[in-house]
């Protein structure tokens, strides 16, 4: 029972390390965060940024990847 959980945690750890390395070496992803629909409010001493469209796009991509992985199993 715990062997399956251990494998899943190991895979998630490897995935997080890969994402971390990607973010370290590629500081800025060109299109990410500048999509139409992302909310940016700039005042004198205040900036509010809410990447709603970016979040929806990343959610859709991750859902598709996880769907494909589940179908392959």
Concatenated DSSP letters of 38-67: -EEEE-SS-EEEE-HHHHHHHHHHHHHHHH
Query: How far is the C-alpha of 7 from the C-alpha of 22, rounded, in Å?
Result: 23
pLDDT tens sequence across 8-58: 888 889 989 988 888 777 766 666 667 888 888 999 999 998 889 888 998
What pLDDT, on a 0 to 100 scale, did the predictor assign at position 26?
Answer: 74
What pLDDT, on a 0 to 100 scale, did the predictor assign at position 45?
Answer: 92
Question: Is 18 strand, coil or helix?
Answer: helix
What pLDDT, on a 0 to 100 scale, did the predictor assign at position 31?
Answer: 66
């Amino acid at each position: 029972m715990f062997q399956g959980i251990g494998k899943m945690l190991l895979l998630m750890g490897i995935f997080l390390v890969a994402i971390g390395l990607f973010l370290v070496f590629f500081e800025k992803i060109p299109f990410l965060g500048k999509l139409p629909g992302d909310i940016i409010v700039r005042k004198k001493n205040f900036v509010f940024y809410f990447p709603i469209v970016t979040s929806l796009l990343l959610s859709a991509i991750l859902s598709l990847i996880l769907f494909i992985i589940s179908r392959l199993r």
